[in-house]
A and B are shown apart, each in its own frame.
Chain A
Amino acid sequence: QVQLQQWGAGLLKPSETLSLTCAVYGGSFSGYYWSWIRQPPGKGLEWIGEINHSGSTNYNPSLKSRVTISVDTSKNQFSLKLSSVTAADTAVYYCARGLSGGGGYSGYDYYYYYYMDVWGKGTTVTVSS
């Protein structure tokens, strides 16, 4: 049973850098996309970015200038850094495992699939002066 355990600083001051790490236990690190997602209080889910085992990344265009996601395959861990935080970055941050591939034809249309099947418990990050 794959489990994700995440940790990092929970209280930051404006302009500081948010830093979180997620460790993968009980499963392979390769063949998946490893994502960070956040949820501001009372709001919906926002995808931050992802990395695969070889270090290839994709980021949410709205956060790209401040986000760095890195991987340490020797430890089965991946990390998030978000620079120059403000109160708007206050949220619960989740790590998750993503899978993507060809889903086959439905009628005449070919579909792909993407889903996140394993999630961390979440880390509450508060930005306040």
Chain B
Amino acid sequence: SSELTQDPAVSVALGQTVRITCQGDSLRSYYASWYQQKPGQAPVLVIYGKNNRPSGIPDRFSGSSSGNTASLTITGAQAEDEADYYCNSRDSSGNHPNVVFGGGTKLTVL
């Protein structure tokens, strides 16, 4: 089955722009979705589809995709954006479709 690969950790200076990437074969046919998870809390969807934000998600969060790589960009990172970020997609490469998550990226805002 397909896997999704993320960098374990990324840091960004307050107010600067950061890109978190996710690679995997399933991303050639599925848009990645992105989740933010803060300690002790359930994940929260921040980006889905081509580049869609659920209600309540700030517009500094955006998504893009090219080939087997999806990216989550935070433009003007804030202190409250410090969290773990996970990418996710469906994988239809095998006999039965399943769902895969990336290993997660810990974002530190300096």
Contacts and interface: CB of A to CB of B under 8 A. Distances in A.
Interface of A: 35, 37, 44-47, 50, 58-61, 94, 98, 100, 103-104, 106, 109-117, 119-122
Interface string B90-108: 1000101111111110000
Interface of B: 1, 28-31, 33, 35, 37, 42-45, 48-50, 54, 65, 86, 88-90, 94, 96-104
Contacts of B94: 61
Contacts, number: 86
A46 B1 CA distance: 14
Contacts of A122: 42
Nearest first, the 7 closest Cβ-Cβ pairs linking A and B are A115-B33, A115-B48, A114-B90, A47-B99, A44-B104, A119-B42, A45-B101
Contacts of A110: 29
A108 to B, nearest CB: 12
A115 B45 contact: yes
A111 B29 contact: yes
B49 A113 contact: yes
Contacts of B30: 103, 111-114
A65 to B, nearest CB: 14
B88 A59 contact: no
A103 B101 contact: no
Most chain B CB neighbours (cut-off 10 Å) among A45, A98, A122: A45
Contacts of A45: 35, 37, 43, 86, 88, 101, 104
Contacts of B1: 61
Nearest to B27: A111
A93 B94 CA distance: 25
B28 A109 contact: yes
